[in-house]
Chains A and B, each alone.
Chain A
Amino acid sequence: MEEKLLRDTFGDYLVKVGKNNADLVVLDADLSTSTRTNKFANEFPHRFFNMGIAEQNMVGVALGFAISGKVPVVSGFSIFTTGRAWEFIRLASHDNLNIKFITTHAGIVGEDGSTHHALEDLSLMSVLPNLNVLVPSDNIELNEILDYALKSHGPFYIRLPRGSFPKIHNQDYNFTLGKPDILKEGNDICLIAAGYGNFLALESISKIEKELNISAKVINLPSIKPIDKEALIKEVNDMKAIIVIEEHNVYCGFGSIITRIITEVYPIKIKCIGVENSFGSSGNREDLLNFFNLNTEKIIEEIKLMLKINV
């Protein structure tokens, strides 16, 4: 059965919390049908604000809502919101305001093409002090992350894909800000990912672990920022190598952050698999994932290289 779209989970969640939180307001930039904030708009028309195709003003208005005691959720496409309105988001972070930026169509969008992929948003957002940057890897985790963000004070950026991600968590999963979530234990090599990369990591390992007689650990790190450094280091200690997988440009992305944190403490070989300094092109998601080498073949090849396994 096809998994529910993460943006549908987001839209449904807003309706659910909107009933109990009268201060919640939702803003969108003429994309409410795509982001699914239209579900909230239908239920609570007086607390939904379509700001038109004007991301800067949308975020500026959210700043005003926040200093007036409202809890604004700002949505739109990831690249337009984080890119066009970056400096307004910087101000939200600067003043530590209670705004939740929850955008869709992050990472590889597909047919809309290179102008619409968001392969730079994590860099743009992670550089901002105070801003929490979260990437869910399935619907279960998304619900947990939304719960956390809406119950916490302060600015959050949560990136959602256009499509669905395969389920990798059980219903009893608990999200903890900053903490690594161990999806699979292992001793030789550690794969670290956020979002869809976790599924690719698990798939890759299941294909080769027995055959190559290796033991691989898979760490989900939904919290790109903040990261509990000690907890992460503890989990990767004594590994022979690390692979970071990200649906994002590897320049100044998730892998760069992880590499800095880990190598500040001890030297270890780290390979970042992601988009290699490219804007991409149109195509279906699978073709683009292959174009960017974001697939199990590439991950398996890198595992063999790093563990010096000759095939």
Chain B
Amino acid sequence: MYDLVKISKEDEKQILGEIIELKKDILKMLYQAQSGHPGGSLSCVNIIFLLYTKIMRFKKDNPLWKKRDIFILSKGHAAPALYAVLSKIGLIDRQELFTLRKFGSDLQGHPVKNPKLGIEISTGSLGMGLSIGVGCALASKIDKKQNLIYVLIGDGELNEGAIWEAAMAASHYKLDNLIAIVDRNGIQIDGSTEEIMALEPLAEKWKAFGWEVIEVDGSNLNDIIQGFEKSKKILRKPKVIIFYLIKGSEVSFMEHTRKFHGRAPNKEEYETAIIELEKIKKDLV
């Protein structure tokens, strides 16, 4: 049905291995910083990695290329995931990753605008990215550019009213060049999203705002890519892809818990996590 960028079995193993390495980098960064957000970085690093390597039009040798697709990490606390991916594609020196959150580092706790790294705007205060994406999408329409605007939003972030102001505006202006990505991991700082401020029925909310909704199991690489490809085909309305993801993904004691939303692992936890991740990588078939 769609022109799929189908990933072969062999490539899948390669990519899953690379994602494990990104997760190891995230944990090392956070362990060395002794603060930060493991849960929501591990949940969406696969999405960010595929965006930069398979989905977006982006030139790592020229991050300011005029025709580039735009990526806005609205859930700025997933900065370690973004930095790890930018390092993987060669924009950040790997050793620099481990200056995360330290005085004088370009890699602040939340992303700060940095054109050289392709970081378009500072984020961290939640609920702002989708409006920014609407502005980028309108500007591209004025300039008749063919690029796409991707905004990654946390599910807890959807509590913010400005998100829904932006949702209304995107639909009003029929911004089919805007793709919102929801990291639906179900957990925010104080508890589950349904306990704290219920979001469901989430897909229906977006539909009611005039968006095309695509729901995807975020554990399957081909499904993720198919979700993005499908979103590109839909015209005259904005699109949201709700990715069902796992908080703290692939580290057993970080999964499905709020405990590691905003706390770095201690030495023992870090070492255990690395052992677990290496085992998962070894067992990839």
Contact B162 A61 (CB under 8 A): no
Q: Which residues of B contact A87 (CB under 8 A)?
A: 125, 128
CB-CB under 8 A for A61 and B125, given A54-B169, A56-B162: no
Does any Cβ of B come within 8 Å of A65's Cβ? yes
Known: A25-B142, A95-B113. A61 touches B121 (CB 8 A): no
Check B162–A60 contact: CB distance below 8 A.
yes
A64 and B142 contact, CB distance less than 8 A: no
Interface check A94, CB cutoff 8 A: yes
User: Any chain B CB within 8 A of the CB of A67?
Assistant: yes
CB distance from B284 to the nearest CB of A (A): 39
Closest residue of chain B to A54, judged by CB?
Answer: B165
Q: CA separation between A62 and B161, bound complex, in Å?
A: 17
A-side contacts of B173, CB under 8 Å: 49
Q: Within residues 134 to 166 of chain B, which ones have a CB less than 8 A from any CB in chain A? A: 134-140, 142-143, 161-162, 165-166
Q: Is A69 an interface residue (CB 8 A)?
A: yes
Assess whether A91 is interfacial by the CB under 8 Å rule.
yes
Q: Is there contact, CB below 8 Å, between B125 and A63?
A: no
B113, B142, B169: the one contacting A51 at CB < 8 Å is B169
Residue in A56, A57, A59, A63 whose CB lies within 8 Å of B121: A63
Number of residues of chain B lying within 8 A (CB) of chain A: 28
Decide yes or no whether A151 CB sits under 8 A from chain B. no
| CB–CB A67/B120 < 8 A | yes
Say how far B153's CB is from chain A's closest CB, in angstroms.
Answer: 13
- A54-B168, A70-B142, A95-B113 given; A64·B132 CB < 8 A: yes
Q: Is B131 an interface residue, CB under 8 A from the partner?
A: yes
B131 contacts A68, CB within 8 Å? no
Expressed in whole angstroms, the Cα–Cα distance for A52 and B164 within the complex equals 13
Q: Contacts A68-B139, A69-B139: A56 and B131 contacting too (C-beta < 8 A)?
A: yes
A48, chain B: closest CB distance, angstroms = 11
The 8 A CB mask of A22-65 against B (1 = contact, 0 = none) is: 00010000000000000000000011010110101101111111
- The yes or no answer to A88 lying at the interface (CB within 8 A) is yes
Which residues of A are found within 8 Å of B162, using beta-carbon distances? 56-57, 60, 88
A95 touches B121 (CB 8 A): yes
- Chain B residue nearest to A94 (CB atoms) is B122
Residues of B contacting A65 in the complex (Cβ-Cβ under 8 angstroms): 135-136, 138-139
Interface presence of B133 (CB below 8 A): yes
A81 to chain B minimum Cβ distance, whole angstroms, is 14
Q: Which of B113, B137, B161 contacts A56 (CB 8 A)?
A: B161
Residues of A contacting B142 with CB < 8 Å? 25, 46-47, 70
A62/B135 contact (C-beta < 8 A), A67-B121, A91-B125 known: yes
A61, A63, A94: the one within 8 Å of B169 (CB): A61
Quick one: which of A51, A70, A88 contacts B128, CB cutoff 8 A? A88
Cα(A146)–Cα(B98), bound, Å: 46
Interchain CA distance A278-B138 in the complex, whole Å: 41
Option from B120, B139, B143, B166 in Cβ contact (under 8 Å) with A60: B166
> In the complex, what residues of A have CB within 8 A of residue B135's CB?
60-68, 72
A68 and B139 alpha carbons, distance in the complex (Å): 6
Question: Which of A59, A64, A95 meets B133, CB within 8 Å?
Answer: A64
Given contacts A63-B132, A88-B128, A57 and B165 within 8 Å (CB-CB):
yes
- Find A64's partner among B113, B134, B168 (CB 8 Å cutoff): B134
Contacts of B166 in A (CB 8 A): 57, 60-61
CB <8 Å contact, B169 and A70: no
- Residue of A47, A60, A70 touching B131 (CB-CB under 8 A): A60
Knowing A25-B142, A52-B168, A67-B120, the reply to whether A60 touches B161 (Cβ < 8 A) is: no
Complex CA distance for A46 and B144, rounded to whole angstroms:
13
Q: Across the interface, do B121 and A91 meet the contact criterion of CB distance under 8 Å?
A: yes
Q: In the complex, what residue of chain A is closest to B132 when comparing beta carbons?
A: A64
Contact A70–B139 (Cβ < 8 Å): yes
- In the bound complex, do residue A88 and residue B121 qualify as a contact, i.e. CB atoms below 8 Å apart? no
Among B125, B139, B172, residue most surrounded by chain A Cβ atoms (within 10 Å) = B139
Scoring A residues 67 to 97 as 1 if CB is less than 8 Å from chain B, else 0, what string do you get?
1111010000000000000011001001100
Contact: A63 with B131, CB < 8 Å? yes
Q: Which residues of B contact A49 (CB under 8 A)?
A: 138, 173
State in angstroms the CA–CA spacing of A63 and B70 once bound together: 13
List B residues 100-130 near A (Cβ within 8 Å).
113, 120-122, 125, 128, 130
Q: How far is the CA of A91 from the CA of B129 in the complex (A)?
A: 11
**Chain B residues within an 8 Å CB radius of A46:** 142
Q: When the two chains form the complex, which single residue of B122, B133, B137, B169 contacts A91, counting CB atoms closer than 8 Å? A: B122
Instruction: State A94–B124 Cα separation when bound (angstroms).
Output: 12
Interface centre among A49, A63, A66, A91 (most CB of B within 10 A): A63
Q: A residues near B, CB below 8 A?
A: 25, 46-47, 49, 51-52, 54, 56-57, 59-70, 72, 87-88, 91, 94-95
Q: What 15 new A-B contacts, CB under 8 Å, besides A54-B168, A60-B128?
A: A25-B142, A54-B169, A56-B162, A57-B134, A61-B132, A61-B169, A64-B135, A64-B137, A67-B120, A67-B132, A67-B135, A68-B70, A68-B135, A87-B128, A91-B128
A-B pairs with the 3 shortest C-beta distances? A64-B135, A60-B131, A68-B139
6 residue pairs from A and B, CB less than 8 Å apart = A57-B168, A60-B128, A61-B169, A63-B131, A64-B134, A91-B122
